[in-house]
Chain A
Amino acid sequence: EVQLVESGGGLVQPGRSLKLSCAASGFTFSNYYTAWVRQAPKKGLEWVATISSSGSRTYYPDSVKGRFTISRDNAKSSLYLQMNSLKSEDTATYYCARQTGSFDYWGQGVMVTVSS
């Protein structure tokens, strides 16, 4: 069974940093692109970042480019999202997802609140 479990969320002040982790199991992690998708409270879904299976390629929307960094450790079947210079508009539930074109499996999500 494919499982993705996020951790590392919490309350953080504007301008500070936070790192999210996602532990994957039930599939060969190193064979798949993986991604982060977020959802602000009562809002829609926004793609945040994608990393290739080897980690050599990364993709970001303009809203987080230069502030967020996606990375992975295939030996540990883990995905990460380093978030710097956080803003109030980054407040959301962050999901990690396996990406096969579309996002076919999602974690349960982790809440990040950016507030003073």
Chain B
Amino acid sequence: DIQMTQSPASLSASLRETVSIECLASEDIYNNLAWYQQKPGKSPQLLIYYASSLQDGVPSRFSGSGSGTQYSLKIKSLESEDAATYFCLQDSEYPNTFGAGTKLELK
């Protein structure tokens, strides 16, 4: 099974700051990497798919990059609504596996 190591586990940042979250796959996942945002009591929302493609309706301050085994999500100019937990997902092969999550807190 492909293991997804996500870092950091938690993050505290200020409004208008830029942050990055990383996911490291245990083997090459050929850009089959998605990022999700989840707020308390809500279902996850797709932000980025295929490593860098922005899902319809997602603000352009979210961006994804990476290749091979290393991927990152960047959030520019943080807004209060960005406080949430973020997960990565590899859908390169079954079993699909998620990262453990990054809890983003706004100062």
Interface residues of B in 77-107 (CB under 8 A from A): 87, 89, 91, 94-101
Chain B residue at minimum C-beta to C-beta distance from A63? B95
Chain B residue at minimum C-beta to C-beta distance from A101? B91
Please classify how large the interface on chain A is, using the bins under 10, 10 to 19, 20 to 34, 35 or more: 20 to 34
User: What's the A-B contact tally at a CB cutoff of 8 Å?
Assistant: 54
Q: Which interface residue of B89, B94, B95, B97 has the most chain A CB atoms within 10 A?
A: B95
Q: Say whether A44 contacts B100, CB under 8 Å.
A: yes
Q: Say whether B98 contacts A45, CB under 8 Å.
A: yes
Bound Cα distance from A47 to B32, whole angstroms:
15
Q: Say whether A44 contacts B49, CB under 8 Å.
A: no
Shortest beta-carbon distance, A67 to chain B, in Å? 15
Q: How many residues of B contact A (CB 8 A)?
A: 22
- Which one of A20-28, A81-89, A102-110 is at the interface? A102-110
Q: Say whether B94 contacts A95, CB under 8 Å.
A: no
Instruction: Give every chain B residue within 8 A of A108 (Cβ-Cβ).
Output: 43
Q: Say whether B44 contacts A45, CB under 8 Å.
A: yes
Interface residues of B in 46-71 (CB under 8 A from A): 46, 49-50, 55
Bound Cα distance from A101 to B46, whole angstroms:
12
Interface residues of A in 60-84 (CB under 8 A from B): 60-62
Q: Say whether A102 contacts B101, CB under 8 Å.
A: no
Instruction: Give every chain A residue within 8 A of B34 (Cβ-Cβ).
Output: 101-103
Instruction: Give every chain B residue within 8 A of A95 (Cβ-Cβ).
Output: 43-44
B residues adjacent to A (C-beta < 8 A)? 1, 32, 34, 36, 43-46, 49-50, 55, 87, 89, 91, 94-101
A residues adjacent to B (C-beta < 8 A)? 44-47, 50, 59-62, 95, 99-109
Q: List 6 A-B contacts (CB under 8 A).
A: A45-B36, A45-B44, A45-B98, A47-B95, A47-B98, A101-B32
**New A-B pairs, 14, CB < 8 Å, besides A99-B91, A101-B32, A102-B89:** A44-B100, A45-B36, A45-B89, A45-B101, A47-B98, A50-B94, A50-B96, A59-B94, A60-B95, A61-B1, A101-B34, A101-B91, A103-B89, A105-B46
Q: What are the 10 closest A-B residue pairs judged by CB atoms, nearest first?
A: A102-B34, A61-B95, A106-B43, A47-B96, A45-B98, A102-B49, A59-B94, A101-B91, A104-B46, A44-B100
